[in-house]
Structure 1
Amino acid sequence: MESDQEEEEVYMNRETEELVKVSQLLKTQNVDELLKADRKEIKETERGISWYHEILPRDAAEDLLKQGLVKFGNIDGLFLVRKSSTSSSEYVLSLVAEGKFFHFQINELKRMQFSIDDGPAIVGLDCLIQKYMEMPLGLPCKLTQFCKQYPPPHIARRRGTTNLLHNAVLQNIPENVEKILNSKFHPDIDAKSSSGSTALHLACEYGMEEIATILIKHGANVSILDYHLRTPVHVCCATNKAGLIPILVNDGHATLTDRCPTSGWLPIHEAAFKGHAECLMILLNFHSPYYPRADDGKTPLDIARSYDKTECVSILENFDSPGIKTKKSDWFHPELDRSGAQCLLESHGCKTGMFIIRNSRKISCHVISVCHQQKVYNYEIKSTHYDGKLVYFIDKGPYYKSLEHLVHCYSKYSHGMQCILTMSVNPAGEIIPLQEEDDYTNLAEAHELAVNMNDDYSPALPPRPSSLSDDTADQYAPSRSSREIINAKPDALKLRTSHPPSAPPPPVPSQPPPSKLPSQKSVEPACPPSPIAEPETDLRKIDKKCLKIGKEIGQGEFGSVVKGEYKKQEGRKTIKIDVAIKLFHKDSINNKNDFLKEARTMQQLKHECIVNFLGICESDKHDLMLVEEFIAMGSMLDFIIDCQDQIHVPNDLYLWAAQIAYGMMYLEEQKLVHRDLAARNILLQSKQRAKISDFGLSRALGSNSDYYKASTGGRWPIKWYAPECVNYGQFSHASDVWSFGVTLWEMFSFGEPPYGEMKGIEVIQYIESGKRLERPEKCPPKVYEIMNNCWKKDAKERPTFKYLNQHFEEDNEYASTKDTMKSVRKKK
C-alpha cells in the first residue's frame, strides 16, 4: 500500500504530463469539442466508482439490487450507496448478502469523515467504499459488484479525476479558464483532481489571484475541502499567498472559522505554524478570532511559540482588536434572569441577531441570550486565565480578552451560535446596532437579517379547536435545545422575583418578618404610616414617596418591571425592603375599577407558598404600580436548567412539588383559579421554599360558579392547558390540576419543553388522540402516575389539590419532605 506522499507524487506526475498535452490542444482545437471529449473520458474513467444514487426509497433500492442479482448472478456483496432521505449530510449503504437485504447508515462524523455503524472513521466517501471492498469490517460480507448510476458527490470525495479545467488553471492563463467556464460543456467547477484539489485550491496554492477571481465569479465553492482537508483559505495560509485571502473573503464570502476536521485548525493556526506573518495580519484584519482553540486546545499563539515563529508570536501577544465600537452599557443587564431576557427580546421584536448579556448564578459566568428566527437561544460565557490574562469564551469557541472583544467578533462570525450578533437592547430599552448595514458585504459570515413574524406565540384562540390554524393555535413557548431559552411569559417580562406587568397582583399581603429586615442606623426621612396597618377590606396603597424605583428588569405588553426599594415604618424604625414593581402605562388597563377589585381579592391571600402582594401605588406617570416581594433566586425553571448539579434528586423536586400542591390547595379553598401554573411561574425563595407567582390570568370565582369562561383576547400557553381550556375557554381548579401535571413533568425532565417542537395545533391533536407526555428518565413511576391522573380527559376524574396535598403529606415516598413541610404548615 503506497503512502499518501507517494500517491500524491504519482498523481502530480500524471497531471504534469496532461498539462503539456492540454496546453497544445487549447491552442489548436475548439473548446466545446475538447470539453465534450474530456467529459466522455472522465465518465469512462469513473465507471469503477459509479455506485452512487440520488435520494432513493428503500424499496426502490431493493428493486435495483434484485435486478443486479439477475444480471450478476446470486452473489454476495452486491451494493449501492444512496442519499439518506432523512438527512442532507448522510448516506445509506444498501447491500445483499446470503439472499437478504441490508441497509446501513453511513454517518458523517465530521466533514468528509465517514463511518458505518461502529466501524472505522475514513476520510472520503470514495475511500470508505474502497476500504469495504477490500474487507467487510463488520458487514455481512465485503462489497463486490454495484448497481451503476453516478460517481459520489465531489464534496464527499477525497479524490477525483483531473479534467481540462484543472489543467487550464495550472497553465495560469486566465482567458483559457474563462473560455472553459463559459462553455456549456464545462466540467463541474468543484470537481477534484486526481490529487484531490479543486480548481480553486490549485489557484490558491500557486497564488493565481486573477484566476481565483474568475472561479469565484462562476460559483466556485470557497469552503470545500481538498485531499488534506483544507479549505482554499487554509491553502493560502499554508503556502503564504496572502493576496488571495481578501479575494476569498470579499468576493467569495469565505469564512475564516472553518476547521480542519482532523485537527480543528482554523486558517490562523496554519499561518502561525508556518510563520506567515503577512497572512496572519490579514486574517486578523478580517476579524479572524485571535485565540481560537484547536481540538487539542492549542491556540495559534501556542503553536507559534512551539515552532519559534517569533514574528507571529509578537503579533498575537500584542494584538488588540481594532474598531471595537460596542460597549458594555449597550447590552449588559445584570438584573435580568432567563425569562426576563426572553421577554425583553420578544418585546423588541425578537429579530435575528438581537441579543443581551446578563449575569449567571454560576461563579465567573455570564449568559448571552440571542434571537434567531423568533426564538431565543441561551449560551454560557465562561472565563478563565490564559497567557496570564483573564479571557472569555463560549463552549469550545475562541478565547477573548474582554466581553467587548467577544461581542465584536461574534458580530462577524457565529462560531457555532445560530447566527451572528447584529443588534443589542440596552437597559434603557433602546436598540443598538453593532455595525453599519453596508459592512456586511465584506464580512465572512455576512447574511441578510431575517425579520420574521413571530409564530411562537398564539393570539386569543377561537372557541373550538376545529377553527384553529397552526399560526393562531401555536404554543407560545418555542422548543428548546440544551442551550435554548424557552417558556418565558408572552405578554410581559418575568424576572427572578417578579411577575408580568399585565398580570393582576399576585397574592399574599403578609409583610416579611422584621427579623429578616436590615435595621437603619442613620435617620431616614419620615414616611407615612405603613399601609399594612389599614383594614383588610381596604385596598393597600403605598405612598410613592416610600418607593425608590431602580433599574428596569423587564418589559411587557402593558408596562415594565423594575427592581425597587420600599421604605416602611416599623414603630420608630424605617425599614427598607427589596421589591419588584410593575409600572403600568397610562390607559393600559381597560377597567380600573374591576382591576382594583381583583387586587383587593389578591391582598386577602396569605400563604407561605404564595408570593406576597404588598400593595398598590398611584402616580402621575403611571395609572398604577403594583408592589410585590422581591425573590432573588428567581424562577424554578431557570434553576433546574442552570443549576442541575445543585439539585438533590428526587428530594428537592419532591419538596417543591409538595409546596406547589400546598399553595394551590389554598387557592382552591379561596375559589381562585390560577390559569397559568407552570415551572416558569414558581419562584424559589431558597432551596427549601418554593412560591407560586404570576396570577396574570387568574380570576376570582363567583360564589355560584365553578369555572371562569374567557371572553377577551390574550396569548395562551397551549402546552399547559387542559382540553376544556382550549375547546371552550373554560378554566377551573381541575384545569389548574392539569397544568400542575405539566409542571411536574417540567421539573422531572429538568426544564425540557413539554411536547418538544410540536406546534399548538399538533399538541391539541396529540392530546385528543389519547396520548400523553412520556415519563422523563429520572421521574419515579409514582410521580408519573400522579401526572397521568392530572391529565385525565374528564375534568371530574382528576384529583383535587386537596387530594394532591394529602398525597404528598402522607405517602412514604416523600418522607424526605415531611420535616420541612411541617415547618411550612406551622408558619401558615
Structure 2
Amino acid sequence: MEHCGYIKAKQDPDEEKMQFQHGRVKLPGSRTYIHPHTYEDPNQAVRDFAKEIDASSIRIERVIGAGEFGEVCSGRLKLPSKREIYVAIKSLKAGYSEKQRRDFLSEASIMGQFDHPNIIRLEGVVTRCKPVMIITEYMENGSLDTFLKKHDGQFTIIQLVGMMRGIASGMKYLSDMSYVHRDLAARNILVNSNLVCKVSDFGLSRVLEDDPEAAYTTRGGKIPIRWTAPEAIAYRKFTSASDVWSYGIVMWEVVSYGERPYWEMSNQDVIKAIDEGYRLPAPMDCPLVLHQLMLDCWEKCRNDRPKFGQIVNTLDKLIRNPSSLKELANSSVWEDPPSPEFAVSTVEEWLEALKMVQYRDNFTSAGYVTLDSVLYISISELQKLGVTLVGHQRKILSSIQSLHTQGTHVHV
C-alpha cells in the first residue's frame, strides 16, 4: 500500500478481456446484477466494476458529511484528457479492519455495475494508497429529505411528480437488473442542481446494522421499519415488490416535504397499525391520484402492488395531463369531521360518538371524566394520553372546538 500521489503504470483496458465470473462468461450488454459476496476474492469484484483512479487526479476541498465508514468530502476530479468535474469523495477512516475495507468497497462494486441517469454515478476508487476512497458524482442539493424540509411548500406539484418519476425510473432500472435496494427512503435519494433525483446508498451492511432509522427485529439485525414492507419485517422477504412499498413511503415524504412517516408513533405501533390495515393518510394538498398510487404501493399482498415500470407510466401520464392532479385527496382523516350531535354527557359517550373509544381508559385514568375537563386539552396532553396519530389528534381537537362553539358545558 503506497502513500497517495503514487503514479501507476497503465492497466490493460478491461473491455478487451472477456470477463469469466464464477464459471459464466459475462457477455457485454447482459444486465444482471452480480452480488460482490459471490466473489471468492472481493477485491476482484472491485477490479471488475470500479475504475482505479490515481490519487493525484483528486483535489479534496471541504467536508460535507460523515458516512458510516468515515468522512464525506466534496472536491474535484481531473482525469487526463477530460474536463475537471465536481465529485463527492468518501474515505475510509484509519484503523479499519479488513472486513470494514471489504464492506466499504462493496458499495463501489455494486454502484459500478449501474449506468442510469437516476442512479448515483461511480467515477472510481482509490485502493492502492491510503486513505481508500470511493469517488462519485457530486449532488449539489444533498439528500432529498433535508432538501424538501429546507424548501417546504416551494415547488409546484408537477415538479414534485417529476422528482418521483426520476426515482421510479432509477428503481425500474435496478429491478430490471434484479437488484433489491432494501433501504429506499428520501434520506437515501440525492438531488443535483437541476432537481434530478438519484438513488444512492448501496452499502451492503447498512440495512442490517447501521441505519439510525432501523429497529431490531426478532431475527437479529436491523430494519428501517417505517419504510419497510410487512413481509420484509415479518420474515425478511425482500424483493422488488418490497422496494415498491418503500417507494410509496418516499412519495408520501415528497408530497409532505420531508415529514416523518407515521410521525411520533413508535416502531411497534407502526407495525401493529399496518397489520390492522392502517395506511398513511394523504398529506395536505395531495392530489387524489397520487394518494391512490401510494395506497396501491402499500397493498398487503405483494403481488397486488404495481411494478416500477407501471409506476413510471402512471407518473408520465400525470405529467402529460396536469389537470388530472387538480382533484385533491382531502383524506377524511385530515378533514374536520362533522360534529356529532352532542347529546352526550360523559367523556365516554363523547369518545364513542367520535369513534375513539379505544382511548377511554387513558382519559379516565388521567382524570378526564367530565366534558368540561376536556375543553382545554392541548396536543402535547393528547400525546401523553397515547393519542399519537395526527389524524386522531385533529379529530379530537376539532370536536373540542365545536364543544366550545356550541357552549356545550355539560355538568355531569
Q: What range describes the TM-score normalised by the shorter chain of this pair?
A: 0.5 to 0.7
Distance 1:615 1:596, change over 3 A: same
Aligned to 1:644: 152
Matches of 2:107 and 2:67 in 1, distance apart? 20
SS at match of 2:117: coil
Paired amino acid for 1:562: C
Matches of 1:604 and 1:716 in 2, distance apart? 25
1:725 aligns with 2:205: no
Aligned to 1:610: 119
The offset of 1:714, in angstroms, is 5.4
The offset of 1:533, in angstroms, is 6.1
The offset of 1:529, in angstroms, is 9.0
TM-score (norm 2): 0.60
Matches of 2:128 and 2:6 in 1, distance apart? 19
The offset of 1:793, in angstroms, is 1.1
Aligned to 1:683: 190
1:694 aligns with 2:205: no
TM-score (norm 1): 0.31
Where do residues 55-204 of structure 1 align in structure 2 (5 Å cutoff)? none
SS at match of 2:60: strand
Aligned to 1:746: 253
SS at match of 2:166: helix
1:569 aligns with 2:85: no
Contact 1:652 1:687 in 2 (8 A): no
Distance 1:814 1:767, change over 3 A: farther
The offset of 1:556, in angstroms, is 3.7
Distance 1:813 1:625, change over 3 A: closer
Matches of 2:80 and 2:195 in 1, distance apart? 29
Matches of 1:544 and 1:742 in 2, distance apart? 39
Contact 1:611 1:628 in 2 (8 A): yes
Q: Deviations over 1:729-750 (max 9, x none)?
A: 2211011100000000111112
Paired amino acid for 1:578: Y
The offset of 1:676, in angstroms, is 1.3
Which of 15, 20, 23 is equivalent to 1:535? 15
Which of 129, 134, 148 is equivalent to 1:626? 134
The offset of 1:675, in angstroms, is 1.3
Matches of 1:527 and 1:577 in 2, distance apart? 21
The offset of 1:566, in angstroms, is 1.5
Distance 1:762 1:747, change over 3 A: same
SS at match of 1:535: helix
Distance 1:659 1:557, change over 3 A: closer
Matches of 1:729 and 1:669 in 2, distance apart? 21
CA-based RMSD: 3.2
The offset of 1:720, in angstroms, is 0.5
Where do residues 241-640 of structure 1 align in structure 2 (5 Å cutoff)? 534-535=14-15, 538=48, 539-570=50-81, 575-585=83-93, 586-588=95-97, 590=99, 599-622=108-131, 624-640=132-148
Matches of 1:582 and 1:714 in 2, distance apart? 25
Matches of 1:532 and 1:601 in 2, distance apart? 22
The offset of 1:596, in angstroms, is 5.1
Matches of 1:777 and 1:769 in 2, distance apart? 24
Matches of 1:562 and 1:589 in 2, distance apart? 23
Matches of 1:816 and 1:684 in 2, distance apart? 23
Contact 2:107 2:202 in 1 (8 A): no
Matches of 2:258 and 2:92 in 1, distance apart? 31
Contact 1:578 1:629 in 2 (8 A): yes
Distance 1:532 1:737, change over 3 A: farther
Contact 1:640 1:647 in 2 (8 A): no
Which of 126, 151, 162 is equivalent to 1:655? 162
1:792 aligns with 2:326: no
Aligned to 1:399: none
Where do residues 28-39 of structure 1 align in structure 2 (5 Å cutoff)? none
Matches of 1:636 and 1:759 in 2, distance apart? 23
Structure 1 stretch displaced more, 536-545 or 780-789: 536-545
Matches of 2:228 and 2:160 in 1, distance apart? 22
Distance 1:602 1:813, change over 3 A: closer
Contact 2:103 2:203 in 1 (8 A): no
Question: Which structure shows the higher helix fraction?
Answer: 2
The offset of 1:625, in angstroms, is 1.1
Distance 1:762 1:562, change over 3 A: same
Matches of 1:531 and 1:660 in 2, distance apart? 35
The offset of 1:621, in angstroms, is 3.5
SS at match of 2:71: strand
Q: Deviations over 1:20-44 (max 9, x none)?
A: xxxxxxxxxxxxxxxxxxxxxxxxx
Contact 2:105 2:134 in 1 (8 A): no
The offset of 1:597, in angstroms, is 6.2
- Higher Cα radius of gyration: 1
The offset of 1:678, in angstroms, is 1.2
Which of 288, 292, 307 is equivalent to 1:781? 288
SS at match of 1:558: coil
Q: Percent identity, aligned pairs only? A: 38
Aligned to 2:363: none
Aligned to 2:321: 815
Paired amino acid for 2:136: E
Contact 2:63 2:72 in 1 (8 A): yes
Contact 1:678 1:742 in 2 (8 A): yes
Contact 2:6 2:54 in 1 (8 A): no
Contact 2:106 2:204 in 1 (8 A): no
Matches of 1:610 and 1:675 in 2, distance apart? 15
SS at match of 2:292: helix
SS at match of 2:299: coil
Q: Deviations over 1:514-544 (max 9, x none)?
A: xxxxxxxxxxx99779999653963311111
Matches of 1:596 and 1:534 in 2, distance apart? 19
Unaligned runs of 5+ in 1: 1-524, 700-709, 818-828
The offset of 1:584, in angstroms, is 1.4
Matches of 2:291 and 2:11 in 1, distance apart? 45
Matches of 1:698 and 1:687 in 2, distance apart? 31
Q: Deviations over 1:90-124 (max 9, x none)?
A: xxxxxxxxxxxxxxxxxxxxxxxxxxxxxxxxxxx
Matches of 1:580 and 1:800 in 2, distance apart? 32
Aligned to 1:395: none
Unaligned runs of 5+ in 2: 20-47, 207-216, 324-412
Contact 1:531 1:541 in 2 (8 A): no
Contact 1:532 1:540 in 2 (8 A): no
Paired amino acid for 1:541: E
Paired amino acid for 1:641: K
Distance 1:632 1:688, change over 3 A: closer
Paired amino acid for 2:15: P
Contact 2:180 2:239 in 1 (8 A): yes
Distance 1:628 1:598, change over 3 A: closer
The offset of 1:789, in angstroms, is 0.7
